């Protein structure tokens, strides 16, 4: 029986805990540390997590660390600004850690995290599902076959609705560090993996073009009088956008109150771009847009070699276009029902292996390059804010 502890038992941590049984392993969550027991328990029920009848709930991390000495694994799913602090504290418990991304939101945090784990015996798996999902692994196989030659350039894009990021606690820069850290961390991680090299230098830009504004920071849609005028109100999500089956359903939100996207004090970016030079000389460009919706959403990349180009789309499509023969191959990849394009299935597999055998995960913080996604995003943000090229180093 695997005994799992959770710190920050929200949507993501409960999802991963709930998946711990998918390979048939016997597990139970025996300890939870969260500042909101009611919502932690609701997430546990929603995700059908197996909870030990005597599961202990803590609202103090020091207590959790002192008393929970028999855990086989710990999942960290707090807001992003707390990941480093929690990981460094639970390191002394000596149980394998599964840690949400980004692993830090400031460089000094990342340095502290690296110092704490670089020689530690405690494995830290970083939650980077896009690197391990079937689509990415298939593309990696094609690259390794030599079909397109060496990867010289990757151009990635993530165009997705700002729904969660601008209407919940994720809009608070102090908690997330902005949209490079929140989203690009995934895309850059899988692109470094496909390129087979680590980042060396970056230049970037970020801007807030539409969201943000002059409304109070704590205004939520349910308290706002502009239901009919505002394109982002639950009223218009239902009436004009055709989302949900009623205004009441649109107003119910999985993260609680739906906060105003046009509030003053929102400092996160709604568009950004970054360009990396890798250690092997290849280049990666990535752009993000959080203004889009519906058919305008897309996520994927083009990967260029001398012999050919691969186009990958996270809807499950791969196109391999030869440059040296007039030939194009199209492949469809099924990702399965588990979240993050099927990548969470692999992350959970690795976490189980680590708990049972001690073998470190493919996305391990230290041995699996799990640190680079966050490091490169911190450097991209620094480049954008200073308007300078930044060397990527800890």
Ligand X SMILES: NC(=O)c1ccc[n+]([C@@H]2O[C@H](COP(=O)([O-])OP(=O)(O)OC[C@H]3O[C@@H](n4cnc5c(N)ncnc54)[C@H](O)[C@@H]3O)[C@@H](O)[C@H]2O)c1
Q: Pick the closer one to ligand X by CB: 35 or 45.
A: 35
Please report how close the Cβ of residue 345 comes to ligand X at its closest, in angstroms.
Answer: 13
Please report how close the Cβ of residue 288 comes to ligand X at its closest, in angstroms.
Answer: 15
Q: Pick the closer one to ligand X by CB: 277 or 362.
A: 362
Q: Give whole-number Cα distances, 259 to 173, 250, 295, in Å.
A: 14, 13, 24
> Which residue minimizes CB distance to ligand X?
10
How big is the CA angle at 243 (ends 242 and 249), to the nearest 5 degrees? 125
Q: Pick the closer one to ligand X by CB: 43 or 261.
A: 43
How big is the CA angle at 324 (ends 319 and 330), to the nearest 5 degrees? 15
Nearest residue to 307 (alpha-carbon basis) of 325, 288, 284, 281: 325
Please report how close the Cβ of residue 380 comes to ligand X at its closest, in angstroms.
Answer: 17
Please report how close the Cβ of residue 322 comes to ligand X at its closest, in angstroms.
Answer: 34
Contacts of residue 283, defined as CB under 8 A and 6 or more positions apart, other chains included, come to 152, 153, 154, 275, 276, 277
Please report how close the Cβ of residue 317 comes to ligand X at its closest, in angstroms.
Answer: 21
Please report how close the Cβ of residue 164 comes to ligand X at its closest, in angstroms.
Answer: 8
d(CA 73, CA 27): 10
Please report how close the Cβ of residue 254 comes to ligand X at its closest, in angstroms.
Answer: 8
Q: 3-state SS of the chain? A: CEEEEEECCCHHHHHHHHHCCCCCCCEEEEEEECCCHHHHHHHHHHCCCCEEEEEEEECCHHHHHHHCCCCCEEEECCCHHHHHHHHHHHHHHCCCEEECCCCCCCHHHHHHHHHHHCCCCCCEEECCHHHHCHHHHHHHHHHHCCCCCCCCEEEEEEECCCHHHHHCHHHCHHHHCCHHHHHHHHHHHHHHHHHCCCEEEEEEEEECCCCCCCECCCCEHHHCCCCCCCCCCHHHHHHCCCCCCCHHHHHCCCCCCCECCCECCCCCCCEEEEEEEECCCCEEEEEEECCCCHHHCEEEEEEECCCEEEEEECCCEEEEEECCCCCEEEEECCCCCCCCCCHHHHHHHHHHHHHHHCCCCCCECCCCCCCHHHHHHHHHHHHHHHCCCEECCC
Q: Pick the closer one to ligand X by CB: 36 or 328.
A: 36
Between the two ends of the chain, the Cα-to-Cα distance in Å is 39
Q: Pick the closer one to ligand X by CB: 5 or 308.
A: 5
Please report how close the Cβ of residue 244 comes to ligand X at its closest, in angstroms.
Answer: 20
Q: Pick the closer one to ligand X by CB: 33 or 371.
A: 33
Q: Pick the closer one to ligand X by CB: 254 or 356.
A: 254
Q: Pick the closer one to ligand X by CB: 164 or 247.
A: 164
Q: Pick the closer one to ligand X by CB: 348 or 390.
A: 348
Please report how close the Cβ of residue 80 comes to ligand X at its closest, in angstroms.
Answer: 4
Please report how close the Cβ of residue 129 comes to ligand X at its closest, in angstroms.
Answer: 5
Residues near ligand X (CB under 6 A) are: 7-13, 33-36, 39-40, 77-80, 82, 100-101, 127, 129, 340
Please report how close the Cβ of residue 354 comes to ligand X at its closest, in angstroms.
Answer: 17
Q: Pick the closer one to ligand X by CB: 33 or 275.
A: 33
Q: Pick the closer one to ligand X by CB: 79 or 196.
A: 79
């Amino acid at each position: 029986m695997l005994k799992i502890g959770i710190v920050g038992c929200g949507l993501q941590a409960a999802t991963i805990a709930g998946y711990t049984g998918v390979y048939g392993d016997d597990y139970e969550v025996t300890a939870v540390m969260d500042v909101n027991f009611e919502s932690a328990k609701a997430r546990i029920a929603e995700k059908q997590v197996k909870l030990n009848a005597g599961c202990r709930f803590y609202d103090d991390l020091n207590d959790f660390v002192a008393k929970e000495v028999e855990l086989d694994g710990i999942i960290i799913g707090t807001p992003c600004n707390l990941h480093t602090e929690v990981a460094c504290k639970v390191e002394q418990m000596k149980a394998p850690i599964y840690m949400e991304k980004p692993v830090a939101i400031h460089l000094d945090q990342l340095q502290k995290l690296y110092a704490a784990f670089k020689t530690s015996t405690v494995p830290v798996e970083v939650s980077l599902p896009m690197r391990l999902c079937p689509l990415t692994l298939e593309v990696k196989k094609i690259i390794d076959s030599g079909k397109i030659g060496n990867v010289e350039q990757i151009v990635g894009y993530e165009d997705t609705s700002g729904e969660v990021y601008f209407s919940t606690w994720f809009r608070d820069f102090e908690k997330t560090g902005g949209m490079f850290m929140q989203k690009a961390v995934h895309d850059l991680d899988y692109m470094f993996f496909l390129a087979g090299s680590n980042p060396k230098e970056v230049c970037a830009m970020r801007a807030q073009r539409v969201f943000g504004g002059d409304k109070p920071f704590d205004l939520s849609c349910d308290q706002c009088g502009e239901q009919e005028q505002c394109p982002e109100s639950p009223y218009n999500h239902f009436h004009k956008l055709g989302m949900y089956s009623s205004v009441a359903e649109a107003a119910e939100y999985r993260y609680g109150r739906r906060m105003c996207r046009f509030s003053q004090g929102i400092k996160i970016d709604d568009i950004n771009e970054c360009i990396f030079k890798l250690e092997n000389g290849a280049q990666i460009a990535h752009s993000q847009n959080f203004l889009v919706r519906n058919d305008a959403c897309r996520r994927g990349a083009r990967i260029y070699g001398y012999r050919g180009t691969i186009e990958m789309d996270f809807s499950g499509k791969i196109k391999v276009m030869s440059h040296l023969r007039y030939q194009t191959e199209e492949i469809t990849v099924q990702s399965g029902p588990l979240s993050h394009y099927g990548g969470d299935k692999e992350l959970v597999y690795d976490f189980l292996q680590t708990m049972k055998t001690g073998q470190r995960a493919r996305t391990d913080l230290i041995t699996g390059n799990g640190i680079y996604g966050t490091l490169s995003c911190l450097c991209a943000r620094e480049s954008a804010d200073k308007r300078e090229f930044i060397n990527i180093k800890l």
